[in-house]
């Protein structure tokens, strides 16, 4: 029996995503079943895109920020404000970037985005004052946590369906490992070459390593190779049927459902609180009489538990309704803020960051799977672009709130209590984050438990 999937064309890498999803071709089972599933190679390539976003991620900027404070005589609030302005402006362009991905295809977007990150790192090496710092932050934030993160998640959504949760967990665990490794590499580069030379070295690594590898190996979708998502046998109709809810919604259609706004609010608060906690990581420990080295214990514990919860979350995302993972993540984030608000010792500070790591692990799986499964893939670039606008924009607010709290309210405590209050409300709302139901969804496909 033959299976119906999308049709490849000779220039499929340039074809719009929505058009690719609407096309059909017959895959002969004898040919399909003999092929090794290329998605297992696309998984590490998607992970490579996430690692490539590190220069624009908060944990990647954190060790450069110390140098910026010293060289340009900025206060924490001043630096946070520049970061806020650049990040908010960067976030506004992400939905447009998402629409371009839908129009021109993933492959072109991936190669263009990596080239843009190379240029952003070169620009960052030339910072001479507030204006050039703002422009460098703008470029790094738009390309890193904006464009490259979108492309990494959309790559997995193109290659995996029923196994999307598991594939996302593998990518996120690898990214958790990069939280421990990438800062060490950045610190080493700064110590050896200075912060300007470090940015040029990072640009060289991307240009000579990442870009050629992606140019040779990256493929837009399984149909380029005559395969199906998940590597499903072409003669098994039930396995080829989508695990997601069968919707193919535009952004305007998605906005009519409450789950869209609940997911958007959770994404925003996850980014807002998490960015604040990491941006001011060393300062939080110094405020309690500890030093920056003590904060590395929190990073280590955070990375370990985040990796574990991402693996477990990936398994659960393929079996349970997404909303239960969302409720758990927001509840854990609330607990983390409460613990940190009352923390006075190294042990309680580390405990607060470890609980945050659990929340981060679960939420990263929700962010990787929910949008594709709830709203489909035809307009996923633009839909995920709106979610990243909320995430990147909110991520600029967290450091400023914490900076103002530390500078004018006597410490970080008031900001932690504010975060806990808002996030707890999102946790309650998450109980109603049920997916948009499609009556035409194949009945042969088992719905996730509690969906």
Contacts of 307 (CB under 8 A, 6+ apart): 173, 176, 177, 361
CB 139 within 8 A of CB 119: yes
pLDDT at residue 116, rounded to an integer = 96
**Which residue in this structure is represented by tokens 């590499």?**
185
In this predicted structure, the answer to whether residue 380 has a pLDDT above a threshold of 80 is no
Mean pLDDT, rounded, for 279-293? 80
Q: What is the dihedral of CA 377, 320, 227, 241, to 10 degrees?
A: -80
Highest mean pLDDT among 112-116, 225-229, 296-300, 309-313: 112-116
More confident residue, 382 or 151: 151
More confident residue, 339 or 172: 339
Contacts of 50 (CB under 8 A, 6+ apart): 148, 149, 152, 171, 174, 175, 178
Query: Helix 164-205 and helix 39-52: axis angle, to 10°?
Result: 50
pLDDT at residue 234, rounded to an integer = 58
In this predicted structure, the answer to whether residue 10 has a pLDDT above a threshold of 90 is no
Strand, helix or coil for residue 320: strand
More confident residue, 166 or 414: 414
Share of the chain above pLDDT 70, in %: 85
Contacts of 410 (CB under 8 A, 6+ apart): none
Query: Model-level pTM greater than 0.75?
Result: no
Q: How far is the C-alpha of 389 from the C-alpha of 376, rounded, in Å?
A: 19
HSE-CB for 159 with a 13 A CA cutoff: 26
More confident residue, 401 or 297: 401
Question: Would you give the DSSP letter of residue 12?
Answer: G
pLDDT at residue 448, rounded to an integer = 54
CA distances from 112 to 182, 345, 372, 447 (A): 23, 46, 23, 38
As a 3-state breakdown, the chain gives helix, strand, coil percent values, each rounded to 5, of: 75, 0, 20
**Which residue in this structure is represented by tokens 């979708």?**
221
Give one DSSP letter per residue of 172-235, joined into a string: HHHHHHHHHHHHHHHHHHHHHHHHHHHHHHHHHHIIIIIHHHHHHH--S-GGGGT--GGG--TT
Name the average pLDDT for the chain. Answer: 82
Mean pLDDT, rounded, for 249-270? 92
Q: How far is the C-alpha of 366 from the C-alpha of 314, rounded, in Å?
A: 9
Q: pLDDT-based confidence at 143, cuts 50/70/90?
A: very high
pLDDT at residue 17, rounded to an integer = 47
435: alpha, beta or left, given left = phi > 0 and alpha = psi -120 to 50? beta
> At 108, which helix (H) or strand (E)?
helix 106-124
More confident residue, 171 or 139: 139
Strand, helix or coil for residue 26: strand
248: closest CA among 340, 137, 382, 91? 382
pLDDT at residue 236, rounded to an integer = 52
Q: pLDDT-based confidence at 438, cuts 50/70/90?
A: low
pLDDT at residue 311, rounded to an integer = 82
In this predicted structure, the answer to whether residue 267 has a pLDDT above a threshold of 90 is yes
169: closest CA among 397, 363, 427, 399? 363
Query: What domains appear along the chain, each with residue ranges and CATH number?
Result: 39-227+238-432 (1.20.1250.20)
Highest mean pLDDT among 5-9, 149-153, 182-186, 412-416: 412-416
Model pLDDT for residues 89-100, shown as the tens digit of each residue: 888 888 888 888
């Amino acid at each position: 029996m033959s299976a119906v999937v999308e049709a490849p064309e000779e220039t499929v890498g340039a074809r719009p995503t929505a058009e690719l999803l609407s096309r059909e071709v017959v895959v002969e089972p004898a040919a399909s079943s003999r092929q090794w599933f290329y998605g297992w190679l696309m998984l590490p390539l998607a992970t490579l895109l996430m690692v490539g976003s590190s220069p624009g991620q908060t944990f990647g900027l954190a060790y450069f920020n110390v140098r910026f404070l010293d060289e340009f005589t900025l206060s924490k609030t001043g630096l946070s404000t520049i970061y806020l302005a650049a990040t908010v402006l960067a976030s506004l362009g992400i939905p447009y970037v998402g629409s371009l991905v839908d129009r021109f295809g993933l492959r072109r977007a991936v190669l263009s985005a990596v080239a843009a990150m190379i240029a952003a790192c070169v620009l960052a090496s030339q910072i001479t004052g507030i204006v050039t710092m703002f422009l460098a932050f703008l470029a790094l934030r738009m390309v890193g946590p904006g464009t490259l993160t979108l492309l990494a998640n959309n790559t997995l959504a193109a290659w995996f369906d029923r196994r999307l949760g598991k594939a996302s967990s593998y990518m996120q665990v690898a990214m958790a490992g990069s939280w421990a490794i990438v800062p060490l590499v950045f610190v080493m580069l700064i110590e050896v070459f200075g912060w300007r030379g470090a940015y040029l070295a990072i640009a060289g690594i991307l240009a000579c390593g990442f870009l050629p590898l992606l140019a040779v190996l990256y493929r837009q979708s399984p149909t380029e190779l005559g395969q199906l998502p998940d590597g499903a046998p072409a003669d098994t109709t039930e396995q080829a049927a989508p695990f997601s809810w069968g919707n193919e919604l535009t952004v305007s259609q998605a906005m009519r459902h409450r789950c869209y706004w609940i997911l958007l609010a959770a994404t925003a608060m996850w980014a807002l609180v998490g960015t604040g906690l990491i941006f001011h990581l060393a300062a939080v420990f110094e405020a309690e009489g500890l030093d920056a080295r003590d904060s590395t214990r929190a990073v280590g514990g955070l990375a370990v538990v985040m990796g574990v919860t991402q693996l477990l979350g990936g398994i659960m995302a393929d079996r349970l309704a997404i909303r239960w993972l969302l409720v758990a993540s927001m509840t854990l984030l609330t607990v983390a803020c409460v613990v940190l608000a009352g923390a006075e010792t190294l042990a309680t500070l580390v405990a607060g960051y470890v609980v945050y790591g659990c929340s981060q692990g679960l939420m990263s799986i929700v962010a990787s799977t929910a949008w594709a499964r709830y709203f489909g893939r035809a307009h996923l670039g633009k839909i995920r672009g709106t979610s990243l606008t909320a995430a990147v924009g909110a991520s600029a607010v967290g450091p400023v709130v914490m900076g103002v709290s530390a500078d004018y309210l006597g410490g970080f405590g008031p900001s932690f209590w504010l975060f806990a209050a808002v996030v707890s409300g999102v946790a309650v709302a998450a109980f109603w984050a049920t997916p948009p139901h499609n009556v035409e969804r194949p009945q042969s496909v088992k719905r996730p438990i509690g969906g």
